[in-house]
Amino acid sequence: MHLHFLDPYQPRNSPVHALDARLKFVLTLAFILTVSLTPAGAWPVYILLLALVVSAEVLSGLGIGYVQKRALLALPFVLAALPVIFTLYGRPLFSLPIGGWTLTASVEGLERFVSVALKSWLSMQAAVVLAAATQFPELLQAMRAVGIPRLLVAMFGLMWRYLFVLVDEALRLMRARAARSAWGTEAGKRSGGSVAWRARVTGGMAGSLFLRAFERSDRIYVAMLARGYDGEVRALPLPPLRAAGWFLLAAGLTLFGLLLIFAYAFWG
């Protein structure tokens, strides 16, 4: 059994997919930084930023629906920002009497909440497009290009390579557990054993997973040695970025810069 669905990469024949991963990586990070720096209440700038990321979604052929579905993953976290509507002082908006207490929402509080939610939503979409339109190995090259240490990049690569192998193992363990759990999943019924016992069983499964990881890493190490590995992480040099690439990078960064100037000029 293979967990292809774990890999977010969606192969398409699109200009976004064809774009150099280094550019996508840097532009995505710059976009998220721009979103983060945009002040609360600069709604027009948020609209333009949304237009940019939605354009990327359209261009990439991923479809807006697909990206939105994945982008909503961060939604539950918005709860953390909800109280700020009531706790931030400012012009009162409305009051909610709860028992003996009165909660007063402020305009500033609502503005902050909406900006946090918007920022999160916009950033998430950009990250989803990056992950879905870029093969992870290319992303690893981009990470090398921006100066992330080779050892760490090698670690990311190894983790990604064995993620799917080990998740398969974990799923087999879970299936074996489920096959022997008489009342496992039925709603409304108490499952077998105490929480502590269930946790210990799960812990044992995790332990065996770690043990297999240890043993596998020994075999990988031997396979690396057999091909000359000497402890140093090596890689082929990256091809230079073409002129068009540099131009696109400069254009993107300039655009983000202009949007920020625009935002601070009016809403700073």
Partner 1 sequence: MLYSPAPMHIPDGFLSTMVAVILWVITIGVVGYALRRVGKDLGERQVPLMGVLAAAIFAGQMLNFTVAGGTSGHLMGAAIATILLGPWAAVIVLTTVVGVQALIFQDGGLLALGANIFNMGIIGVAVSYFVYRSVQKLSGGKTWGLYVGGFAAAWLSIVVAALAVALQLALSGTSPANIAVPAMGGIHMLIGIGEGLITVGALAFVHAARRDLLHIGEAAPTGGKAVWVGGLVIALLLAVLSPLASAHPDGLEWVAEQKGFLDTAQQPLYNLIPDYVFPGISNEALATIVAGIVGTLIVFGVALGLAFWRRRKTA
Partner 2 sequence: MHHSIEIEHLSFSYPDGHPALRDVSLRIAPGEKVALVGPNGAGKSTLILHLNGILRGEGRVTVCGLPVEEKNLGRVRAAVGLVFQNPDDQLFSPTVFDDVAFGPLYQGLPPAEVERRVTSALAAVKMEAYARRVSHHLSVGEKKRIAIATVLSMEPEVLVLDEPTAGLDPRARRGLIHLLRDLPMTMLVSSHDLAMVRELLPRMVIMDEGRIVADGPTAELMKDEQLLEAHGLEKM
CA distances from 28 to 24, 36, 41, 164, 172 (A): 6, 12, 23, 26, 36
Cβ at position 45, least distance to partner 2 in Å: 37
11 interacts with partner 2 by CB under 8 A: no
Sole window of 94-102, 204-212, 238-246 interacting with partner 1 (rule: CB under 8 A):
204-212
Nearer CB in complex with partner 2: 99/237: 237
137 interacts with partner 1 by CB under 8 A: no
84 interacts with partner 1 by CB under 8 A: yes
Rounded CA gap, 181 and 143, in Å? 44
Interaction partner, residue 235 (partner 2, partner 1, none; CB < 5-8 Å by kind): partner 2
Window 11-40: residues binding partner 1 (CB under 8 A): 13-15, 28-29, 32-33, 35-37, 39
* Residues facing 202 on adjacent strands: none
Cβ at position 220, least distance to partner 2 in Å: 5
Window 181-200: residues binding partner 1 (CB under 8 A): 191, 195-196, 198-200
Nearer CB in complex with partner 1: 167/241: 167
151 interacts with partner 2 by CB under 8 A: no
Give Cβ neighbours of residue 8 (< 8 Å, ≥ 6 apart): 70, 128, 131, 132
- Residue 80 is encoded by which pair of tokens? 């953390």
Interaction partner, residue 83 (partner 2, partner 1, none; CB < 5-8 Å by kind): partner 1
- Among 47, 72, 75, 158, contact with partner 2 (rule: CB under 8 A): 158
Interaction partner, residue 199 (partner 1, partner 2, none; CB < 5-8 Å by kind): partner 1
Rounded CA gap, 21 and 129, in Å? 12
145 interacts with partner 2 by CB under 8 A: no
Nearer CB in complex with partner 1: 177/241: 177
Nearer CB in complex with partner 2: 110/153: 153
- Among 17, 24, 119, 144, contact with partner 1 (rule: CB under 8 A): 119
Window 220-259: residues binding partner 2 (CB under 8 A): 220, 222-230, 234-237
Rounded CA gap, 167 and 163, in Å? 6
178 interacts with partner 1 by CB under 8 A: no
Q: Residue numbers of the site for partner 2 (CB under 8 A)?
A: 2, 4, 7, 135-137, 140, 157-158, 160-162, 164-165, 216, 219-220, 222-230, 234-237
